[in-house]
Amino acid sequence: MIMETLVVDAENQIAGRLATVVAKEILKGRHVIVVNAEKAVISGSPEYTIETFRAKISRGDPYKGPFYPKVPDRMFRRIVRGMLPRKPKGKEAYGRLKVYVGIPPEIGVKPESIVSFVETSNTLEHKFMTLGEISAKIGGRKS
């Protein structure tokens, strides 16, 4: 049974809430492509958010890990990975996820066919940061 590919726009979406929806879809066997990952939002104090991500990066051994990504697309993949079960079902599902910065032309998707989840949209009235801003602050390379 081949399921269609779901293309999701992460612009102004709360990263954790979007990641739960994406994790459920890939566990069901659906292929999911997330675009505009750098525009996903993390809520909370910017200072605390940067401090938390820096702590994750500096944790562990530089040669043996754990390794934590600094670029927005890989940061979002890591958030989704934390919501999946361990082997073998989660590993198989994780392979069905693709995350991109921006909308790359090679995926061949028209902008009108991209799904934006209304129930997870950013309605935050307090402090927040995008994954792109976090990446720039922690020293991620430009994508």
pLDDT in tens, 34-84: 999 999 999 989 999 999 999 998 988 889 988 889 999 999 999 999 999
Structure tokens at 83: 């919501």
pTM attached to this predicted model? 0.86
pLDDT band at 1 (very low <50, low <70, confident <90, very high): very low
Mean residue pLDDT across the chain: 86
Residues 6 or more apart whose CB falls under 8 angstroms from that of 41 comprise 12, 13, 14, 15, 122, 124, 128, 129, 130, 131
Q: Which of the following CATH numbers is that of domain 6-138: 3.90.1180.10, 3.30.379.10, 3.40.50.10090, 3.40.50.720? A: 3.90.1180.10
Domain borders along the chain are 6-138
Q: Alpha helices of the chain — where are they, by DSSP H?
A: 15-27, 46-58, 72-81, 89-94, 131-138
Q: Give pLDDT tens digits for 126-141.
A: 788 999 999 999 887 7
